[in-house]
Homo-oligomer: A and B are copies of this chain.
Amino acid sequence: MSLKYGLLGLLNYGEMTGYDLSKVFEDSLNHFWRAQKSQIYRELKDMEKSGWVDARMVLQSDRPNKRIFAITAAGREALAAWLGQPLGASFQQPHEPLLLQLFFSGALPVEESRGQIAAFRDYCRGAVELLQSQPAQAIDFYSPEGNSELDPLFWRFTAEYGQRYYQMCWEWAESMLETLDSL
Minimum CB distance partner of A93 in chain B:
B34
B172/A106 in contact, CB under 8 A: no
- Of A15-23, A41-49, A58-66, A145-153, the segment with at least 4 beta carbons within 8 Å of chain B is A145-153
**A119–B87 contact, CB under 8 A?**
yes
**Cβ of A123: which chain B residues have Cβ within 8 Å of it?**
88, 91
Known A97-B2, A168-B168: A107·B90 in contact at CB below 8 Å: no
Which of B92, B103, B148 makes the CB contact (< 8 A) with A106?
Answer: B148
Q: Does A112 contact B (CB under 8 A)?
A: yes
Known: A12-B107, A87-B120, A91-B120. A100 touches B32 (CB 8 A): yes
For A9, the chain B residues whose CB sits under 8 A away are 100, 103-104, 107
* A31 near B83: Cβ-Cβ < 8 Å: no
Q: Which of A33, A34, A96, A147 has the most CB of B within 10 A?
A: A96
Contact with B along A117-144 (1 / 0, CB 8 A): 1011001000000000000000000000
Residues in chain A within 8 A of chain B (CB atoms): 1-2, 5-6, 9, 12, 29-34, 79-80, 82-88, 90-108, 110, 112-113, 116-117, 119-120, 123, 146-155, 157-158, 160-162, 164-165, 167-168, 171-172, 175-176, 179
